[in-house]
A and B are shown apart, each in its own frame.
Chain A
Amino acid sequence: MAGKLFHVDVVTPEDIIWSGAAQMVSARTTEGDIGILADHEPTMAALATGPVQITDADDEVTTIGIHGGFLQIYANTVTLLTDRAETTEGGREEALRLAEELKAAEQRAVEASEAG
């Protein structure tokens, strides 16, 4: 039996990664892991490098590796704004590895632009 649902958007500048109704979202903020259920208080948080997991209405879990960004919870709408995100079939470990990869890719890009 599905719990109470709320709306979740995961957006990057180039794409909407995930959008729909969910039962639960877990994410890694700079302050630590956070689990979100429906009717969460309004919150704004900075996202760290790590996995995000979304449990949708059919108990399906989507795992996304995310590097940086922001999390906004307002009126049962959760918005994750992130520069870099990628969904994965693997579990949290895989997502974390993916997120670290995104971070490394960004660092390389920064170094390249500074060198250039």
Chain B
Amino acid sequence: MASAEVRQIRRRIKSVESTMKITRAMELIATSRIAKARVRVAENQPYTNKMNEVIRNLGAGTGSISHPLLESRPVKTAGIVVVSSDRGLAGGYNSSVIRMAEHRILDLREHGTDMRLYTVGEKAKAYFAYRNFEIEHAWLGVTDTPGYGDARMIGNALLEEYETERVDSFEVFTTRYVSALTQKPVQWQVLPIEPPPSDDGGEASVAYTFEPSAEAILARLLPRYLEGTIFGMLLEASASEHAARRRAMKAATENAEELVRLLTREANQARQAEITTEISEIVGGAEALAGG
């Protein structure tokens, strides 16, 4: 018996409620994903620490370390790598890292430095492709749950560009997981490699025996170090993505709840107004009959 207005409001409530079901489910999924991603970040930590330790010791054991990957050269062409997600619905996650990278690109352009662009994730690819940037390479399907193989693939590609001198330096724009509530876009230089700072001089005088030579080990170690660094970044980016999505979906769910409350009130009012009208019509009708 509901009138058109009440029916319409009820339909809207239903639609908002079904959207809310989706956003709430996505929120829950993202929450479990954050936990998993954080665990993976933690599991990567020992490897990263040991790798840094080995590089430091290698530097200490040989006096100074030198290798083409460690030497910076004049930057004629800068490589920009942007790490974004494949899917949206993650609040400001993609836009803040993309904006940061775009700033840097405009900056480079102003200084007349050539630039080559590499993207990870569908969102960065779509953004820059739409603005007619030339993308050298786009890696997709990596960011949700990055594997070490993905990091190796990216690392190898960057190394090749660097070694053939197509690109003189590589900067990665990615997102750091600070806490569940804060994820910060950051810029990292990955090539040439900046050796990790030595935190203490205590191990400096150890004379290592190298098998084969220190140079040979370094030459094998540095590409692994690069991969390790990229892997670490991908893992953090993934944790950040899930955290951003969780927050965005939580906000969406709350907004939907608020909307349902407002609409319900509106529907009640409309229904009440309708009843009042009906009663006054009946009363009016009865009076007319009695009077007649």
Contact = CB atoms under 8 A, between A and B. Distances in A.
A13 B206 contact: no
A6 B228 CA distance: 27
Contacts of B151: 13
A46 B212 contact: yes
Interface in A14-49: 14-16, 29-31, 34, 41-46
Interface in A59-88: 68-70, 72, 74, 79, 81, 83
A44 B57 contact: yes
A70 B217 contact: yes
A68 B224 CA distance: 10
Contact of A9 (B46, B48, B221, B224): B46
A55 interface: no
Contact of B57 (A12, A45, A72): A72
B217 A14 contact: no
B54 A43 contact: no
Given A11-B46, A14-B43, A44-B217, A72 B212 contact: no
Interface in B118-154: 147-149, 151-153
A46 B216 contact: yes
Interface size bracket, B side: 35 or more
Interface in B195-217: 203, 206-212, 214, 216-217
Given A29-B211, A43-B208, A44-B57, A13 B228 contact: yes
Contacts of A46: 211-212, 216-217, 220
A70 B221 contact: yes
Contacts of A16: 43, 46
Contacts of B210: 43-45
Given A14-B147, A31-B212, A70-B221, 13 more contacts: A9-B50, A13-B148, A16-B46, A42-B61, A44-B217, A45-B217, A46-B217, A68-B220, A72-B50, A79-B54, A83-B148, A109-B153, A110-B152
Interface of B: 40, 43-44, 46-48, 50-51, 53-54, 57-58, 61, 147-149, 151-153, 156-157, 203, 206-212, 214, 216-217, 220-221, 224, 227-228, 231
